[in-house]
Amino acid sequence: MSNQNAARPEDGGDPRLFLQTVARTMRVLEAFGSRQVPQSLAELAAAAGIDKSGAQRICYTLQALGYLERDGVTGRLRPGLSVLDRTFDFQRMHPLVERAFPVLAELRTATGQRVDFGLFDDLSIIYALRLHSRMETFVATLIGRRLPTYCSTGGRAAMAFLSDEEVASILRRSELKPLTRYTLTDPAAIIAKVEEARRDAYSFTEQEWAIGEMAIGVAITDASARPVAAIHVAGSLAHWNAKSFREKIAPLAIEAARAIRG
């Protein structure tokens, strides 16, 4: 996938334009991604790889700007309301997300299932829109969640539009660890699922990242036929079998993807 963002110095970017202070600030914010609870200053410093004094200045500034706030009970730090403002900005200014929403809303009505829209980001798919069904877990309704490309339905749908060399590169650079006992981690088995997605024009997973859930993924490509996003429709094994789910849902998801691309 072509990345239009500026490259880091270690990736061949211009070191004269790279601000280490900004990078350290972002690493502090990124440190919350590995924890589900508020963190102390020392924990943030360790996670960001900076000294406690530097972390204190960064956290003070972020707190003053509303990007961090202190938990009223523990006194520890957590992301602040200003982070949500930037999430809002991203969604309203991303043309693909805006174009996808009405199509996904129609797909959600037609299927009665949870419908997600994820953006392809090399080793992961990050959810930008999530239209949940009536019975969902809290995490399943949140945008911004990342799933590994190698085991997610949308990720495999995206890989179906990449060359064999690019697929091999993703698998080589990914940490192939099981999320459930059904997760495929053998590269040959994953490649076989990518080949299946190329043949069928959609990918299918069953309980690979959530027990009791199956999903269909269809890639969204740009004008150069490169994958940029994917539709993901999830169903419960309590209500569907794999054959009926694929027969009913796949054509609807494929048509929705065509509408977004169009």
Q: What is the pLDDT of residue 140?
A: 60
Same domain, 61 and 180: no
Same domain, 49 and 153: no
Q: What is the pLDDT of residue 12?
A: 64
Q: What is the pLDDT of residue 149?
A: 97
> What φ, ψ does residue 209 adopt, rounded to 5°?
-130, -5
Q: What is the pLDDT of residue 39?
A: 86
- Residue 145 to residue 151: CA distance in whole angstroms: 14
Q: What is the DSSP string of 91-157?
A: HHH-HHHHHHHHHHHHHHHHH-SEEEEEEEETTEEEEEEEE--SS--SGGG-TT-EEETTTSHHHHH
Q: In Å, what is the CA distance from 175 to each residue of 153, 229, 236?
A: 17, 21, 27
Please give the residue range of the domain that contains residue 60: 9-82
- Residue 233 to residue 218: CA distance in whole angstroms: 9
Same domain, 66 and 167: no
Q: Which one, of 99, 145, 147, 105, lies nearest residue 122 by Cα?
A: 147
Count the domains in the chain: 2
> What φ, ψ does residue 138 adopt, rounded to 5°?
-60, -50
Residues in the chain: 262
Residue 62: give its domain's CATH number: 1.10.10.10
Residue 137: give its domain's CATH number: 3.30.450.40
Same domain, 212 and 125: yes
Element (H, E) at 37: none
Average pLDDT of each block of 10 consecutive residues along the chain (262 residues)? 55 82 93 78 90 94 95 90 92 91 96 95 95 66 88 97 98 96 97 98 95 96 96 94 97 97 85
Is the CB of residue 73 less than 8 Å from the CB of residue 66? no
Q: Which one, of 62, 56, 92, lies nearest residue 79 by Cα?
A: 62
Please report whether residue 46 resides in a domain.
Answer: yes
Please report whether residue 154 resides in a domain.
Answer: yes
Q: What is the pLDDT of residue 2?
A: 41
- Residue 98 to residue 260: CA distance in whole angstroms: 10
Q: What is the pLDDT of residue 25?
A: 94
45: number of Cβ within 10 Å: 21
